Structure 1
């Protein structure tokens, strides 16, 4: 069994323009009801979820997980930061889904933080072959994170990267 990443996306929307802009984070994910229209007589509200196929990023890449949140970091690679948990002002639909998928090591980043991170690092470490031979391995952060960064940049588009936030959690 492996570890998977779940990425939720939020955008900061503003109530008014000008100097005194007040922003609120809202989910910009595609939410799907798990039973809407299927069980019309049920009295409980539908369970809303972001299907895996609709998430911003879902690739299993343990080196990237290590960089983002010190997950699966057996080689002690330098990473952006320890998991931050959920932001206090997270969109209300996201925490129940994280609970439902038994997410752990939850963290968040603005797109600006991710774009400005030093992805030009190369981490080298000593490894061992099946025959016991010592070899040097390396992780090129830019190569490792290129598909993730492409997803972040698509999400941002022409918007201000400070107004886009990714909520990231992992499951086992």
Structure 2
């Protein structure tokens, strides 16, 4: 079963923590590209066009609205798999939480877990540039990308099925050179390993979300924080 995060931004104003609204620009861009692809196939995009208008109105959770287990591990040690040290183990909800975020958390009841919060100061102090080891199964196109760039843009944790063939990296290279004389190239998968920085792996969270959060700081990173929890 998948795990999702519910993340809100709060800012202390006149001694009181308040929920901050904003627009999640990366999510809107992703939705726009999705709508474009749907229309290119001649299908209806009514649902997504309505959804994108909702996104443009702003939400409390604008800094992040996605599923990235590596991020969950960095924030609170949730879904840990890469042996990185989290910023903090879950702290629970802050005692001075804003009313809006408190209501949302209570609405999840027992389905919400690992509640926590982190200030902008804590987030800024974390070692986002640490190197992590990654691995995954790739198909022929992803393997070619791996050879050219040192890492694939997509991969699977596991892959199976009647037509799937697991081969070594050497075998995959040979099959590519021979233009797959023994079958369809789409059936071949191989396990690859690579390293990259955590910052690069987390993409828009580090390139967009953290800078957006820091725009709210105004000289005191202790007065801005994220409050979050997870559900399965």
Fold conserved between structures, TM > 0.5:
yes
1:119 aligns to 2:128 (yes or no): yes
- Partner residue of 1:26? 18
Q: Distance in 1 between matches of 2:84 and 2:125?
A: 19
CA separation of 1:142 and 1:151: change in aligned 2, threshold 3 A? same
Larger Rg: 2
Query: Does the Cα contact within 8 Å between 1:69 and 1:81 map onto a contact in 2?
Result: yes
Q: Distance in 1 between matches of 2:79 and 2:196?
A: 14
The Cα of 1:138 is off from its aligned counterpart by 3.5
Query: Does the Cα contact within 8 Å between 1:127 and 1:137 map onto a contact in 2?
Result: no
Report 1:57-96 matches (<5 A).
57-96=64-103
1:166 aligns to 2:223 (yes or no): no
CA separation of 1:104 and 1:137: change in aligned 2, threshold 3 A? farther
TM-score, normalisation: structure 1: 0.70
- Partner residue of 2:4? 4
Q: Which runs of 5+ in 2 are unaligned?
A: 23-53, 138-157, 160-165, 169-190
Superposed CA deviations along residues 52-81 of structure 1, whole A, max 9, x for unmatched, are 872221121111111111111133332212
TM-score, normalisation: structure 2: 0.53
Q: Distance in 2 between matches of 1:2 and 1:10?
A: 26
CA separation of 1:166 and 1:135: change in aligned 2, threshold 3 A? same
Query: Does the Cα contact within 8 Å between 2:82 and 2:132 map onto a contact in 1?
Result: no
Could you say which structure has the higher helix fraction?
2
1:143 aligns to 2:200 (yes or no): yes
- Partner residue of 1:13? 13
Query: Does the Cα contact within 8 Å between 2:82 and 2:133 map onto a contact in 1?
Result: no
CA separation of 1:146 and 1:136: change in aligned 2, threshold 3 A? closer
CA separation of 1:137 and 1:84: change in aligned 2, threshold 3 A? farther
Q: Which runs of 5+ in 1 are unaligned?
A: 15-22, 31-50
Alignment RMSD: 2.7
The Cα of 1:135 is off from its aligned counterpart by 5.2
